[in-house]
Amino acid sequence: HVTIYAKDYEPPKWWVRHVDLDCDLSADKARIRATLNVEKNGSHDRPLVLAGDGLKPLTVQVDGADAQWTLEGDNLLIELSGEAHEIATTVEFDPSANSQLMGLYASGGLLCTQCESEGFRRITFHPDRPDVLSTYSVTMHADAKAYPILLANGNKVSEGIGEDGRHWARWEDPFPKPSYLFAMVAGDLSANSGAFTTMSGREVELNIWVREKDLPLTHHALQALKDSMKWDEEVYGREYDLDLFNIVAVDDFNFGAMENKGLNIFNSRYVLADSETATDQDFDAIAGVVAHEYFHNWSGNRVTCRDWFQLSLKEGFTVFRDQCFSQDHNSEAVKRIEDVRLLRAIQFPEDSGPLAHPVRPDSYIEISNFYTATVYNKGAELIRMMRTILGEKDFRKGSDLYFERHDGQAVTCEDFVKAMEDASGKDLAQFRLWYSQAGTPTVRAHVDASGSGAVLKLQQDIPDTPGQKDKQPMAIPLKMALLSRQSGAELVEERTVMLGEAEQTVTFEDIAEADPILSINRDFSAPIILESDRDDEELAALARVDGNAFARYEALQELNLRALLPVIRGETVMDASKVIAAFDATLSDERLDDAFKAEAIMIPSEAMIGEKLATIDPDKVHAARQALGHEVGKGLTEKLEQMYGRERPAGDDLSVAAKGQRALSNQLLGLIASGDPAKGARLAKAQYDGARNMTERQGALTVLVSLDGAERGAALEDFYNRFKDQGLVLDKWFGLQARAERDDTMDAVEKLAEHPDFTLKNPNRLRALLVNFASNQWVFHHASGRGYDLLARMVIEADKLNPQVAARLVPPLGRWRRYTDARAKLMRAALQRIEQADGLSKDVFEQVSKSLG
């Protein structure tokens, strides 16, 4: 397998100015005739190289005449004599046999495409690299009954009836785009349609295309699309550019969704929702993904990536944009807390393991493996830090300059930073290290105060990561304040301190209190691990009085960890008193909203606790976390039950307040059950039976699945019978059981893998069982190694169908260095078994070989 290096980038030898496709489509046969207008870039005598993947050319013509060609591996080579030519090729393949879900494939009676990153080469021969931008025209022919709707990028310019019950439609996209943004869909679809009038007064037609029976489930997505269009105009001054915006929902999809120009294709889980079948979280995720894909129209499509090493250029920026959109439509602090929790649960482990890579990677074997939390979520943190450093005004100036300067171009992360620099006049030289140095920095913070002033001492340390050692200090923006221990008032008002040296001190004069409390990395202004020597009293005070909601949450998390870690290390028995007092104060604080309280009383996950340990013993982590939950549940019984008993909002009320109330209610139920399982089971079963929406139902079932007793089985059976015909809800049924914290979950998951409704062919179903299972730390790391065995078997099986999805299951096994010896050995053995499987894809090979290290 070949490693591709960023440093080897060369501009394309040939441009493709226009692509014309003629596509004859049926479920088991697609015939694609492509006409490419190519133009030599500079002067050279190199042949035209067109990438293919599994394609054989049936015809190859140059300027209308049959031409000489050769196949080199999968690539088509054509010698050309002049500066510009018209190249025509024909290929044929079977979409129904495409289980990789890349290129053109069949899903639930539809034909649809997925081309990012390198799927277009599975449809036709083409350079298929993001720096080759072309206009496209596409003619689709298909059976009119089976495929009444024919969609592609851009605008439909003509359509007609063909012979033998077939029809055709012709689409043109006037905006030059890279091939990864190509899309077409054929199927029996119905649209929920709407309209949006842009800031310059243009009317845009909006359609959410689904199966007819799913139409009632599309209102939320349509509203989210309108909200996104408005938000991008208001916040970034970005207007939509075509007269039509289509979204199509498909059931079998590798990603969450795809931003194809004018024709977004979505995993149906990020489109379909009503309150009976989707939780509040699902609704929020839908709005977030609709926004994300819509925002790509500028950050990704109008300005795209020069090469795939620049992936974070579009993904980091667009994640940041969708995070801010969601912050503006929900509780700002709570959204931030959720995003940071995700970063810590997924990106931090990635950044400290064998698959660690910079936000702008230096090399890859298979680019699909780099659609990671580092590129996406850490990438978003980089953009957020730039906004913090520049301030909102200059950041907007920078984004305006970026879009203006690079509209219609394929550019680099460097171009983005340069635009920010040029617009603001701020020097971001050192900041650029965030793009090239992997690893999560640790920052140590300490305050010395004398009664007349205070000194903040900061220290940073960047860990070694694979292929990178002895790193340079980074530019780390730390939002901080010093608070009065008595009143919580800000003795030093919030400011951003730039930490740029390995060690640095900041002096504050005229601080009369000898004992101020440090509030730092407010709003998680930098993606770092903070180590501070604040004592428990300081943390308790911060949890109570810090004016920054995020910092309050952090103080609570830290108090939890301080209760847990010494118990896990065997140094002491559980003392939950400080956590109980802090939770109590938080729950009683009337200034705080319910959504925040729901976050605040969440005990850190086993994964997050594990991150704090040099060597993880999952049994000990589990036992300690259970013990803390039990103590807290017992210690706060009265308050938890009283708050849990409050009246609930209407079942279909999706207001921010109602969502917050339900989130809190479900967290309270969880803690009650931790304190008193029997009572928890009764209450949860009652909530389940009386549930008026999926948030209440799933909240109850989440608690029940980890408990014993008759209620559990009854609720699980009811859930299955109620929803067995609704794939997205059945996914929840698999996922909930895989997350159950029970000593028989291992058995249950093995059985579920044999369940008639389980399939490796549908990525949502596969992830529902296996991703949830592999993130259920205590169960996955079953001392017998059965968890590793199961995952290894599933990776090998899934790889035969869909390498991309299979490769994404590997990282949990790659964490072996962090586990106790016996487990580490078993994990390595599982990786080795995968490595030795016949016909391993390069996707899985890359993940496994790097994981073994």
Q: How many helical (H) and strand (E) elements, i.e. helices and strands, does the chain have?
A: 29, 31
116 binds, among Zn ion, ligand DPP, none (CB under 5 to 8 A by kind): ligand DPP
Task: Find the shortest distance in angstroms from Cβ 370 to ligand DPP.
Answer: 11
Whether 443 contacts 475, CB under 8 Å: no
Binding mask 294-313 for ligand DPP (x = CB under 6 A): --x-----------------
- Tokens representing 553 are 């949450």
Helix (H, G, I), strand (E, B) or coil at 285: helix
Q: How far apart are CA 282 and CA 288, in angstroms?
A: 10
Q: Which is nearer to ligand DPP, 131 or 315 (CB)?
A: 315
Q: How far apart are CA 104 and CA 111, in angstroms?
A: 7
Q: In this structure, what DSSP letter does residue 7 have?
A: G
Q: Which is nearer to ligand DPP, 101 or 476 (CB)?
A: 101
Q: Which is nearer to ligand DPP, 279 or 372 (CB)?
A: 372
Q: How far apart are CA 769 and CA 119, in angstroms?
A: 27
Within positions 317 to 346, which residues make up the interface with Zn ion, using CB under 5 A? 318
Of the candidates 794, 799, 749, 785, the one whose C-alpha atom is nearest the C-alpha of residue 769 is 749
The site that binds ligand DPP (CB under 6 A) totals a number of residues, namely: 9
258 binds, among ligand DPP, Zn ion, none (CB under 5 to 8 A by kind): ligand DPP
Exactly one of 22, 24, 53, 116 binds ligand DPP (CB under 6 A); which one? 116
Whether 139 contacts 162, CB under 8 Å: no
Within positions 302 to 321, which residues make up the interface with Zn ion, using CB under 5 A? 315, 318
Piece of the chain touching ligand DPP by CB under 6 A; list 291-299, 664-672, 694-702, 806-814: 291-299
Contacts of 666 (CB under 8 A, 6+ apart): 598, 695, 696, 699, 700, 702, 703
Exactly one of 292, 387, 479, 620 binds ligand DPP (CB under 6 A); which one? 292
Binding mask 194-213 for ligand DPP (x = CB under 6 A): --------------------
Task: Find the shortest distance in angstroms from Cβ 292 to Zn ion.
Answer: 5
Task: Find the shortest distance in angstroms from Cβ 293 to Zn ion.
Answer: 7
Q: Which is nearer to Zn ion, 292 or 625 (CB)?
A: 292
Q: Which is nearer to Zn ion, 260 or 318 (CB)?
A: 318
Q: Which is nearer to ligand DPP, 232 or 315 (CB)?
A: 315
Task: Find the shortest distance in angstroms from Cβ 421 to ligand DPP.
Answer: 26
471 binds, among Zn ion, ligand DPP, none (CB under 5 to 8 A by kind): none
Structure-token match 């065995």, residue found: 789
Map 587-611 to HEC letters: HHCCCCCHHHHHHHCCCCCHHHHHH
- Tokens representing 792 are 């290894």
Task: Find the shortest distance in angstroms from Cβ 318 to Zn ion.
Answer: 5
State yes or no: residue 315 binds ligand DPP (CB under 6 A).
Answer: yes
Q: In this structure, what DSSP letter does residue 647 have?
A: P
Q: Give the alpha-carbon dihedral of 108, 109, 111, 115, to 10 degrees.
A: 10
Q: Which is nearer to ligand DPP, 292 or 659 (CB)?
A: 292
Angle (CA) 200 201 206, round 5°: 110
399 binds, among ligand DPP, Zn ion, none (CB under 5 to 8 A by kind): none
Task: Find the shortest distance in angstroms from Cβ 435 to ligand DPP.
Answer: 18
Task: Find the shortest distance in angstroms from Cβ 292 to ligand DPP.
Answer: 6
Give catalytic status of residue 293 as yes or no.
Answer: yes
**Per the residue annotation, which of 293, 338, 421, 696 is the catalytic one?**
293
Binding mask 219-258 for ligand DPP (x = CB under 6 A): ------------------------------------x-xx
Q: How far apart are CA 428 and CA 432, in angstroms?
A: 6
Task: Find the shortest distance in angstroms from Cβ 765 to Zn ion.
Answer: 23
Contacts of 653 (CB under 8 A, 6+ apart): none
**Measured between alpha carbons, how far apart are the two ends of the chain, in Å?**
16
The site that binds Zn ion (CB under 5 A) totals a number of residues, namely: 2
Contacts of 303 (CB under 8 A, 6+ apart): 314, 402, 403, 406, 407, 408, 409, 411
Q: Where are the beta strands (DSSP E) in 14-74?
A: 14-26, 29-40, 48-50, 59-62, 65-66, 70-72
- Tokens representing 667 are 């967290």
Task: Find the shortest distance in angstroms from Cβ 284 to ligand DPP.
Answer: 17
Q: Which is nearer to Zn ion, 321 or 552 (CB)?
A: 321
Q: Which is nearer to Zn ion, 315 or 843 (CB)?
A: 315
Residues that bind ligand DPP (CB under 6 A): 116, 255, 257-259, 292-293, 296, 315
- Residue numbers annotated as active site: 293
Residues that bind Zn ion (CB under 5 A): 315, 318
